[in-house]
Amino acid sequence: MTDQIEWPRMTPETWEATRRQLPARSEYLGELAQETVTRVTALYEQWTRAGSVPLGVSPNRWWDARLLELDSALTPPAGQSLPIQGALRERPGDQPLPTEGQESVQDALIKLIEERRELGIQRYGTPLQTFNGRNAVRDALEEALDLATYLMQIEMEQNARQAGLREALKLHEADQGLCRTCATPSPCATRSALVAIVQPGTQAPMKTVTRFAIKGATPLRVMRADPVQEVACAPDAVADLHKHLGIDPLHQDGSPCKYMGFPITIDESVPSRTVLMRPRNA
């Protein structure tokens, strides 16, 4: 006997909500596809202007670089996703659209309001009511002053904690590719955890994009963490970056060159023979 597939059951309300979202989602997917086509077209025009493989550059390495650029062009910018409800969009300057979380903030707030209501009944014999003989403006002003005081306390305490964390980060800076405290490849686990606390949401886990096998030397590793804002290059990877990809970190006037549209920096804290595509100040 063949097992029957149990499809998830949807209520009429769920079907109706899904149907209302379809036009907005379809429109958004169209916009996303058009943006991708625009990025790929711009990349093609850039390749056309640059011409063929430069003399002295390995064709395989040159194509590896082009494939990385194409992958970046095909990848939507960080934070772009389908609208969550109706015509919700991420506008320039907004924070990224919210992802699935853990707890309902509104439910927690409702619970607190209910607890305050019960406390008021216990203390005053009745919930807060209109025309109760008190000056509501004065009550609100006094509560607002208390709130401002508590917020200032939170700000001062957070600044003190952040200063302590930044001092701890200094203990785990890189020295010739190794953490100066843990003596493990940098960034060590402690530094990664501290960065996640000091700069929450700015650093995604690093993932290896590709490795360039170089004859007689350690492979050159390219790693990426979204959102990419800069390319940091280990000092000992500069020569290979130029030799195998035809890229110089600096122009003749000393200004930074770009790799896949991102400025290149030489960072001594980057692990040996590694190129990091990463958020700025990561």
Give 141-193 pLDDT, tens digit per residue.
Answer: 999 999 999 999 999 988 888 888 888 878 877 776 677 787 776 677 777 77
- How many Å separate Cα 134 from the centre of its chain? 49
Global pTM reads 0.36
Average pLDDT score over the chain: 75
Long-range contacts, stretch 216-219, CB < 8 angstroms, 24+ apart: 217/273, 218/272, 218/273, 219/273
Residues 6 or more apart in contact with residue 224 via CB below 8 angstroms: 206, 207, 209, 276, 277, 278
More confident position, 225 or 36 = 36
Determine the Cα–Cα distance for residues 41 and 45; give it in Å rounded to an integer: 6
More confident position, 130 or 198 = 130
Determine the Cα–Cα distance for residues 253 and 250; give it in Å rounded to an integer: 8
pLDDT of residue 121: 92
pLDDT of residue 234: 83
For residue 233, name the pLDDT band (cuts at 50, 70, 90). confident
For residue 122, name the pLDDT band (cuts at 50, 70, 90). very high
Check if the beta carbon of residue 240 is closer than 8 Å to that of residue 220: yes
Check if the beta carbon of residue 40 is closer than 8 Å to that of residue 74: yes
More confident position, 138 or 28 = 138
Q: In this predicted model, what pLDDT tens digit does every residue of 46-79 receive, in sequence order?
A: 888 877 777 777 777 777 778 888 888 887 765 5
Q: What is the mean pLDDT of the segment spanning 245-263?
A: 65
Residue 139 above 70 pLDDT?
A: yes
Residue 242 above 60 pLDDT?
A: yes
Most confident of 17-26, 44-53, 220-229: 44-53
More confident position, 81 or 66 = 66
Check if the beta carbon of residue 188 is closer than 8 Å to that of residue 172: yes
Q: What is the mean pLDDT of the segment spanning 85-112?
A: 74
Q: What is the mean pLDDT of the segment spanning 250-255?
A: 62
pLDDT of residue 137: 94
**HSE value, Cβ hemisphere, 13 Å, CA-based, for 14:** 4
- How do the domains of the chain map onto residue ranges? 24-37+57-74+202-282, 135-201
Q: What is the mean pLDDT of the segment spanning 229-245?
A: 75
